[in-house]
Structure 1
Amino acid sequence: MTLRPAALALLASLVSLTVGSAAHAAEGWPTADVKGSADHPVISRFTGSLLVGYAQQDWAAVQQPSAAGLSKTERNKFADPISAEGKVTRLFYLGPAGKTPLEIFRNQQQALMAAGFKPRFSCELKSCEPVYFALDTDTRGQGMNWSPGALIGVKGSNFQGARWALPMSLSTDEARMTVGTLSRGGSTVQLLVYTSIAENEYTDRAASYIEIVEPKAMPTGQVTVDAKAISAGLQAEGKVALYGVLFDTGKTELKPDSNAQLDQMAAVLKAQPAAKVFIVGHTDNVGAVDANLKLSQGRAQAVVAALTQRGIAASRLAAHGNAGYAPVASNASEDGRAKNRRVEMVLQ
C-alpha cells in the first residue's frame, strides 16, 4: 500500500484517533454533490458516484502528459508535457461503496473509446506510482470547491473510524490513468482520467479525477491600443489591427465597450490632420463569403460613422469589407478565428 505524503505522516500516529479539527472529525462521508457543480457532457459519472470536487475556468492552461510519458532523467516528472489551453474543467468523483477502482476505470475507458477517444499515454497499477507524483495533485486541486465530509476508515482494526481529508484524495493504490484527445463539435478536447483507491486501502472507496480542456479563444477586446501605438503601427507597417472594436456575432452595431478604442483612433487622426485611412472589416471563414462581405462592410461603415461623430471628416475615411480574404491566423481553431475577426486602420 502506498499513501500520499501527508497521509504517511498522519498514519504513523493514528490508532483510534481522527485526523483534523474536532469539527472536521464530526463529519461523515459526503452525501451530495458539491454546490454549483455539474457533470461535463464529454463524460458522465459512474452510476452512484458523487461529484465532490469541482472547478471550471473559462480560460486557463494546464500541463498534461505527452506520448513520451515520464521523464527518463528527472524523477517523477513528465517528459515534454503538453500545455493545454482553453476552458478547463476539473472534476473529482467519489465512487459508490462496493465498487472497485478497476470496475469504475474500465467503464470510463469503455465509454471514452466508444466516443472516439484517442489515448496517447496510459498507466496501470505499479507503473502509475511515479505518474501520481508527476501529476502534482496538490497543485491541480487548488481552487477547487469541495463537498462537506471526510473519508472514513472502514477496514483494519487500527483504522476503523479514522478520518482523512477529502480534497484530491487520490493514491497509488489500484491506480490507473489514461490521457488523450476526443473530437467534439469540430474541435479537439484534451482529457485526463485518473482513478484509484480514495486516499488509502482503509477507506475501501474509489476516487476519480477528471480533467477536461476545451479549446477556446482567449477573450479579446480587453486591451485598447492607445493613440501612440496606433500611430507607431501606421508608420511602421501602414496598418494596425484593432481588437478593441467589438461587435456581437453576425451584427454590425458597435458595442459600447468599443468607445475607448474609437476615442484613441480619433485621437490619432486629429493629431495627423493630413492622414487619410481605410477602415477595413475582416471576418473569419465561418459562413458564406457573400454574407461575410456584407457583414465586414457594414462593420467598417459603422466604425467610419463613429469616427465622424468624433469630429473626423468623412472625406478622410473610406470603409471597406474584406470578409475572410486576408486571415492572419489559421481558421482551423477558435483562437485563430478570433484573431481573424478584426478591424484595421490602413493608410490610404
Structure 2
Amino acid sequence: MRLSSLPRLTRPALLLGLALSAFAAQAAAPRADVPGAKDHPVLQRFSGSLLVGYAQQDWDQRQFPDARGAAKDDNRFANPVAVEGKVTRLFYLAPLGKSPLEVFRNYQQALMGAGFKTTWTCETEAQGCARAYFALDGYERAKGMRWAEGDLPGIDAAYRDSSWNLEMSLSYEQGRMLVGTLSSGGRNLQVLLYTSIADNAHTGRTATYIEIVEPKAMATGQVTVDAKALGQGLQTEGKIALYGLFFDTGKTEVKPESQAQLDQMVTALKAQPALKVLIVGHTDNVGGIDANLALSQGRAQAVVAALVQRGIAAGRLQARGVASFAPLASNAGEDGRARNRRVEMVLQ
C-alpha cells in the first residue's frame, strides 16, 4: 500500500511507527557485558569486544574433539573426548567491521605465544569446519548461560528493520575452530575456540565462543550413603566406598562432619547383628608408602573406635590400612586422587 493513499490521520502515526521501528533496530545491539561476567584470567578478549554470554560451573563435563576433529561423514566430532573440571563458557561479539579471520588470528597468535599446544584446528569447510559447527551443538552449550540485553540488528540498507537472536549466534560462514591445551600454574587447561560470522552477513558482526576447562577435583563427601544402600552394597559387591568420612590432611582423627555417615553405618550394622566387616583405609600416592600405610591404618582404626563408641561390638570390626595399593582411578590428576582417598566397608 502506498503511503499517499492512507487517510491524513493515519499517516503521521505510521511515520512515527516506522521511525520508532528503525530506531529500535539500530539500538538493539548489546551495549555492555553481561553483569558480573569477566574474561578468563588466561585469555583476554579481542580488543573492543563485548562479553555478551557467560556461564561458569565449578565442576562439570564437556565434550571436545580429539586430533581427528570432525567426522568426515557426519555433523559430529569423530571421537569426542570427555573433559572434566571447572568450566567457563564465554561468548563475545567483536566490534563492527572486524572479520572472523582477523579475530581468529589474534586469538590464535595470543594462545600460541603463551605455549598453547594444538590438538585440532580447522579453517575451511574441506577441513571439517562446517561439520564442527554443527558438532558444537549450540543448544546444549547455551544451557545455563546468562546473556546481555539486545539482539543482532541488520546493518545493510535492506535489513535495517531486521534483527536476529543473540544467543549462540554462531554460524558455519567463515567458521574456524581451535582446540588444545594451555599450561597455566602447573595445570593443563583444555581450550576450545570457535569464531564465525554472527548469525549471517547482514549483522556485520563476528562472534567468538570459548570454552575453558580447568582440571579440578570434584568436591566429594557431598553424599552420605544411607543404611539401606550400605546393606545392599555389602551384599551385592562385598564392599562399599564411603566419602562422607572426613579427615584433615595427614591426620587420623575423624572430623565432626562425619557424624551423618557414622550414624548410617551404625544403623546398617545394627540391622544385621551377625554382620562382620573390615574397615579399610585408602590413600592416594602422595607421600611415602610407609607413611601412607600408617595414615590409612590410623584412619581405619579411628572409624572403628567411633563405631564402637556408638554401640557396635568391637569383635564385629577390624581395621586395615592399605595406603595406595588399591586405587579406583589414576593418581595422575587431583580428581583421581580424590576418589582414591576413601574408607571402605568390606564384608568379612
1:4 aligned residue: none
Q: For residue 104 of structure 1, report the CA deviation from its aligned partner.
A: 1.7
- Kindly indicate whether the alpha-carbon contact (under 8 Å) linking 2:33 and 2:51 is maintained by their aligned counterparts in 1: yes
Distance 2:23 2:343 in 1: 58
User: Residue by residue, what CA displacement relative to the aligned partner does 1:2-31 show, whole Å, maximum 9, x if unpaired?
Assistant: xxxxxxxxxxxxxxx99xx99975853322
Task: Indicate the larger mover: 327-336 or 299-308.
Answer: 299-308
2:112 corresponds to which residue?
113
Which amino acid counterpart does residue 77 of structure 2 have in structure 1?
Answer: F
Counterpart CA distance in 1 for 2:314 and 2:22 is 74
The aligned counterpart of 2:9 is none
Could you say which residue in structure 2 is the equivalent of 1:46? Answer: 46
Matches within 5 A, 1:196-275: 196-231=196-231, 234=234, 239-250=239-250, 252-273=252-273
| Post-superposition CA distance 1:261-306 (Å, at most 9, x none) | 2123223433455655543322212345566455434533432332
Task: Give the Cα–Cα distance (whole angstroms) in 2 for the partners of residues 327 and 70 of structure 1.
Answer: 35
Show the counterpart of 1:144: 145
Which residue of structure 1 lines up, in the alignment, with residue 73 of structure 2? 73
Deviates further, 121-130 or 86-95: 121-130
Root mean square deviation, CA, Å:
3.2
Aligned to 2:99: 100
Q: Relative to 1, partners in 2 of residues 1:71 and 1:160: Cα closer, same or farther, differing over 3 Å?
A: same
**Residue 323 (structure 2) aligns with:** 323
1:124 paired residue number:
123
Q: In 2, are the aligned partners of 1:238 and 1:347 still within 8 Å (CA)?
A: yes
Could you say which residue in structure 1 is the equivalent of 2:176? 176
1:72 partner SS: coil
Query: Match of 2:300, as an amino acid?
Result: A
What is the letter of the counterpart of residue 33 of structure 1? D
Q: Which runs of 5+ in 1 are unaligned?
A: 1-16
What TM-score, normalized by structure 2, do the two folds share?
0.80
Distance 1:318 1:134, change over 3 A: closer
Aligned equivalents of 1:203, 1:252: Cα separation in 2: 62
Matched, 1:159 2:159: yes
> How far off is 1:84 after superposition?
2.6
Residues 191-248 of structure 1: per-residue CA shift (max 9 Å, x gap): 2101122222232222110012233344433443344554455567764422222335
Counterpart Cα distance in 2 of 1:94 and 1:110? 19
- 1: CA distance, partners of 2:43 / 2:234: 49
How far does residue 257 in structure 1 lie from its aligned partner after superposition? 4.6
**CA 1:347/1:151 → structure 2, altered by over 3 Å: closer, same or farther?**
closer
How many aligned residue pairs are there? Answer: 328
Q: Is the contact made by 2:247 and 2:253 (CA closer than 8 Å) also made in structure 1?
A: yes
- Rate the CA distance shift 1:143–1:230 in 2: closer, same or farther, 3 A: closer
In the superposition, relative to structure 1, how do residues 81 and 31 fare at CA in structure 2: closer, same or farther (>3 Å)?
A: same
Distance in 1 between the 2:340 and 2:279 partners? 15
Shift of 1:110: 1.4
Tell me by how many angstroms 1:342 deviates. 0.3
Q: 1:6 aligns to what?
A: none
Q: Secondary structure at the match of 2:101?
A: helix
Instruction: Measure, in 1, the Cα distance between the counterparts of 2:236 and 2:134.
Output: 50
Q: Which moved more, 1:200-209 or 1:211-220?
A: 211-220
Give the match's secondary structure for 1:122: strand
Distance 1:256 1:57 in 2: 28
**Unaligned ranges ≥5, structure 2:** 1-16
Deviations 1:35-94 (A, max 9, x none): 2222222322122222110111233333222322332333x2332222333332210011
Q: Deviations over 1:130-166 (max 9, x none)?
A: 3222322233212210111222223x22023532221
Look up the equivalent residue of 2:111 and give its one-letter code: L
Q: Which secondary structure does the structure 1 equivalent of 2:135 belong to?
A: helix
Contact kept, 8 Å, 1:125 with 1:172, in 2: the verdict is no
Distance of 1:158 and 1:22 partners within structure 2:
12
Stretch of structure 1 that moved more, 201-210 or 311-320: 311-320
CA distance in 2 between partners of 1:197 and 1:103 (Å): 12
Identity of aligned residues (%): 66
Amino acid in the other structure paired with 1:150: D
* 1:83-98 paired onto structure 2 within 5 Å: 83-98=82-97
SS at match of 2:76: coil
Check 1:37–1:291 CA distance in 2 against 1; reply closer, same or farther (3 A cut).
farther
In structure 2, C-alpha distance between the alignment counterparts of 1:24 and 1:64, rounded to whole Å: 39
Tell me by how many angstroms 1:33 deviates: 1.5
